[in-house]
A and B are shown apart, each in its own frame.
Chain A
C-alpha cells in the first residue's frame, strides 16, 4: 500500500504547469473515482485557485492511523516540472488543507462515471 509517502510542501504559486490526479477508492460501495486536472487547460482564475489550494495542502504530513471501516481512500499525485509528489490519506484523517482540494477536484468531475 502506498501510504503517506514523504514529500515536501509545494512552493508558493508559480506559473509552472501542474498536473493533479486524484483517485478515490473504498467506501461502502467500493467504487473507484478518478479526477485529473491540467493547469494548462484552466482559465487563469481557476489556475490561481488551484495553486492556492495546493499551497494550503500539507502533502508531506503522515496522517494518523484511522479506526473503523468503509472510509474513502484518497491517492493524490501532483506533478510539476518533472517532479511527482504522491500521498495517500483516509477520510476522517486527512492532512491539513487537503479537504478543500479534494472537494474542488470532485466538483470539477461533473458527474463522470463512478469507475
Chain B
C-alpha cells in the first residue's frame, strides 16, 4: 500500500494502534508509516512500544534485524574522570585480557544482552542492536558506576565503602537497564518516577543474575551489589529486594509506602524509595514461584513499554499498568492477582 501523507494525519491514534495490532502486513506497514510521519512524542511512544511489543511476542517483524549477538567494546579510562577519552582494550569477539575488570565488564554486558535477547527477544538497549560500550577504571578510587546516556561507566571503588564495581553482574545489568528504560518509558529521574527508574534497574539487574545462575525466585538472594560492598558498610550488599532496609548498617530503604522518605538529596531519594517497588516485584515473584523471568519479569517488561505509562509516573500509576499488563499477557487469574496483592502489601493500593 502506498505511504500516504497529509490526509492520513486525521486518522485517530487509537485506530492506528488497532490496525498495527490486528491488520494485515500491508495495513500494518501503512499504519506504522503514518505514525512515523507524526513527530509528536505520543505518536513516537506509541510507535516504539507497539513495534517492540510485537517483537516481544515473536510476530513477524517489519524489518527483521538479525540480533542475538552483542557488539561490545570495553574502554579503559586509566583512572581519569573522562568516559569519552578512553582507550579501547577489548572488542567483540576478542579473547580475555590480563585485566580482570575488563573481562568482568565484557562478560557482564554479554550476560545482560543474552538475558534480554533470550527472554524478551530484545536486541540490545534500543532493540535495534545498539553497540554496548563499557568504560572501566573510571576515576581515581571512584566509588560509583553509572550510565552516562551512552556508555556504562565503572569505577574501581574506594576500597572502603565500595569495591571494584564490575565484580557484580547485577550491577552491570542495573546500568545497562538504565539505557533500556531511557529507550522505553524514559522515567524521569526525580522523585517517584526516578525511584521507579532505579527500581526497574534493580529488578532487571537481579533477574540478569538469576538468569545467569539458573536460579528460581526461591533460590535467589535478591540482593543488589553483593560482593562489591567495602568493609565500612558492615553489610552484605547495597540493597535487598527481599527485605529493603537490611542490606547494611543504616540502610535507609523503606519496604512500604508509609515509610516513604521525602528528601531533596539523591534526586529526591531515588535510591532510597526504590525499595518499595523493588519489594513489590519480589513479592510477585515469590508468590508465583519458579523463575522470576517467566511471569513477574514479562509483566514488568510490558509495563516499561506500555504507551500508557507516563515519564512522570507515580508508584500508583506504575502499579496500575502492571496489573493491566498482567491481565493482558496472562489473563485474569493468579498472575494479575499476585501483582495486585503485592502492590497492596507495600501500601500502593490498586483496586
A interface, CB within 8 angstroms of B:
1-2, 23, 25-32, 66-73, 75, 91-92, 99, 111, 113-115
Q: Contact size class for B? A: 35 or more
Contact flag A70-B144 (CB < 8 Å), given A32-B266, A113-B232, A115-B250? yes
Given contacts A30-B266, A69-B147, A111-B232, 8 further A-B contacts (CB under 8 A): A25-B265, A26-B266, A27-B143, A68-B147, A68-B148, A69-B146, A73-B265, A111-B160
Determine if A29 and B266 form an interchain contact, defined as CB atoms under 8 angstroms apart.
no
Which of B147, B174, B270 meets A26, CB within 8 Å?
B270
What is the minimal beta-carbon distance from A61 to any residue of chain B, in angstroms?
Answer: 19
Contact flag A92-B265 (CB < 8 Å), given A29-B143, A29-B238, A69-B178? no
Instruction: Let me know if B125 is at the binding interface, CB within 8 A.
Output: no
Contact flag A29-B225 (CB < 8 Å), given A67-B148, A68-B148, A70-B144? yes
B interface, CB within 8 angstroms of A:
81, 83, 143-150, 160-162, 165, 171, 174-175, 178, 181-182, 189-190, 197-198, 201, 225, 232-233, 238, 250, 252, 264-268, 270-272
Determine if B146 and A75 form an interchain contact, defined as CB atoms under 8 angstroms apart.
no
Which of B143, B145, B147, B267 meets A73, CB within 8 Å?
B267
6 inter-chain pairs at a CB distance below 8 angstroms, sorted by A residue, are A28-B171, A29-B143, A30-B238, A31-B161, A67-B149, A69-B178
Determine if B271 and A30 form an interchain contact, defined as CB atoms under 8 angstroms apart.
yes
Name the residue on B nearest A30 (C-beta).
B271
Name the residue on A nearest B233 (C-beta).
A114
Determine if A1 and B148 form an interchain contact, defined as CB atoms under 8 angstroms apart.
no
**Set of chain A residues within 8 Å of B201, measured between Cβ atoms:** 69
Complexed CA–CA distance, A71 and B147 (Å): 8
Name the residue on A nearest B139 (C-beta).
A91
Complexed CA–CA distance, A36 and B144 (Å): 22
**Set of chain A residues within 8 Å of B161, measured between Cβ atoms:** 29, 31, 114
Complexed CA–CA distance, A32 and B147 (Å): 19
**Set of chain B residues within 8 Å of A32, measured between Cβ atoms:** 265-266
Determine if A30 and B147 form an interchain contact, defined as CB atoms under 8 angstroms apart.
no
Which of A23, A26, A111 meets B267, CB within 8 Å?
A26
**Set of chain A residues within 8 Å of B272, measured between Cβ atoms:** 30
Determine if B171 and A92 form an interchain contact, defined as CB atoms under 8 angstroms apart.
no
Which of A30, A70, A111 meets B175, CB within 8 Å?
A70
What is the minimal beta-carbon distance from A77 to any residue of chain B, in angstroms?
Answer: 13
Determine if B265 and A75 form an interchain contact, defined as CB atoms under 8 angstroms apart.
yes
Determine if A70 and B160 form an interchain contact, defined as CB atoms under 8 angstroms apart.
no
What is the minimal beta-carbon distance from B101 to any residue of chain A, in angstroms?
Answer: 15
Which of B149, B174, B264, B268 meets A28, CB within 8 Å?
B174
Complexed CA–CA distance, A27 and B148 (Å): 12
**Chain A CB within 10 Å — which of B175, B252, B265 has the most?**
B265
**Set of chain B residues within 8 Å of A67, measured between Cβ atoms:** 148-150, 182
Determine if B266 and A28 form an interchain contact, defined as CB atoms under 8 angstroms apart.
no
Which of B144, B171, B178, B225 meets A72, CB within 8 Å?
B144
Complexed CA–CA distance, A68 and B186 (Å): 10
Complexed CA–CA distance, A91 and B146 (Å): 10
**Set of chain B residues within 8 Å of A92, measured between Cβ atoms:** 83, 148
Determine if A26 and B271 form an interchain contact, defined as CB atoms under 8 angstroms apart.
yes
Complexed CA–CA distance, A113 and B235 (Å): 13
